[in-house]
Amino acid sequence: MNQTIETILSHRSIRKFKNETLDQKTVETLVKCAQAASTSSYQQVYSIIGVEDSEMKKKLAVLAGGQDYVAENGYFFVFCLDYHRHMLSSVMTGADITATVQSMEGFIVGTADAALAAQNMAVAAESLGLGIVYIGGIRNNIQEVSDLLKCPDHVVPLFGLAVGVPAANPGTKPRLPMNAVFHHNTYKSDDELKNELQRYEQETAAYYAERTDGKRTAGWVSHMMAAMEVPKRTFMKDFLNKKGLNKK
C-alpha cells in the first residue's frame, strides 16, 4: 500500500468545509491533474468552470436543492460535457461533425471524459489533505444552471465538485461487497447476487442503526428502492436535445 492507494481508500465525501479559499496555485494544480486524465480518442470533450463569485455560488446552492456546501467551500468546480470547442474547430476547417456531436455515442464519450477528469481532480485534492463532494444536484435545475454559467449549445453542466479544507470528519461508507460488483470472465448468477444483496442490506442496516442511535434501520436495498421509485430529472432528454446532443 502506498500513499496514493491510502488516499483513494480513505475517501469520504465532505459536506462541511472551513472558510478557507484555495489559493490560485492549488486551483491550477487541480485543473492540470484533471487535464492529465485519459480522454476518448484524444477528444477532450469536457470543460471545467471554476465558480468563485459568491453571489453565483449562492444561486448555485439554491438551484442544487439547497446544499449549503455548494456556496461554502474552498472552491467550486463545475464539470461540463463540451463539444463547443469542436464546433468552433469545425468552422475553422470546414468539417461537418454534427452527426458525431449529436450521437448517443458522443454523449457517452463526453460524460466519461468529464468524469475521468473530475476523479483525477478529486484524488489530487484528497492527496493534499483537502476534502471533496460531488454535486449531481446541479442537474436539478439544469437549464437555470446552464444559463447562469452562460454555457453555449453543446455544453452541458454534468456535476459540481466542491473542494475545501474539511470541517468534519465522517467515516467511509460501506460499499457493495466486492463479490457483488466484481465478476470473473462473465457476469455472475442472480442467485449469487441476491445473496450478496441480502448480506449488504444487513451490513448497511447495522451501519445506519449505529449512526442514528437505532432510529434508522433500513439498509441499502430498502433505502435505494424507496428512493428510486420516484424518477429524477425527467426533463434531461429534452434539455440535451435542445443543447444539440444525444439526439440519435
Which span (61-69, 162-170, 208-216, 229-237) binds its own copies, by CB under 8 A? 229-237
CB atoms inside a 10 Å sphere around CB 128 = 13
* Residue 82 neighbours by CB under 8 Å, 6+ apart: 45, 46, 47, 110, 114, 154, 155, 156
- The only residue of 181, 206, 211, 242 in contact with its own copies, by rule CB under 8 A: 181
Residues 10-69, interacting with its own copies (CB under 8 A): 10-11, 13, 28-29, 31-33, 35-38, 40-44, 46-53, 56
Question: Quick check: 168 binds its own copies (CB under 8 A)?
Answer: no
Which span (66-74, 99-107, 162-170, 205-213) binds its own copies, by CB under 8 A? 99-107
Which span (61-69, 163-171, 188-196, 205-213) binds its own copies, by CB under 8 A? 188-196
- The burial of 85, by beta-carbon neighbours within 10 Å (0-12 exposed, 13-18 middle, 19 or more buried), is given as middle
- The only residue of 184, 213, 214, 215 in contact with its own copies, by rule CB under 8 A: 184
- Packing angle of the helix pair 190-211, 220-228 (nearest 10 deg): 100
* Residue 102 neighbours by CB under 8 Å, 6+ apart: 244, 245, 246, 247, 248
CB 162 within 8 A of CB 73: yes
Query: Would you give the binding string for its own copies spanning residues 110-149, x where CB under 8 A is met?
Result: -xx-xxx-xxx-xxx--xx---xxx-x--x--------xx
Q: How far is the CB of 26 from its own copies (least distance, A)?
A: 10
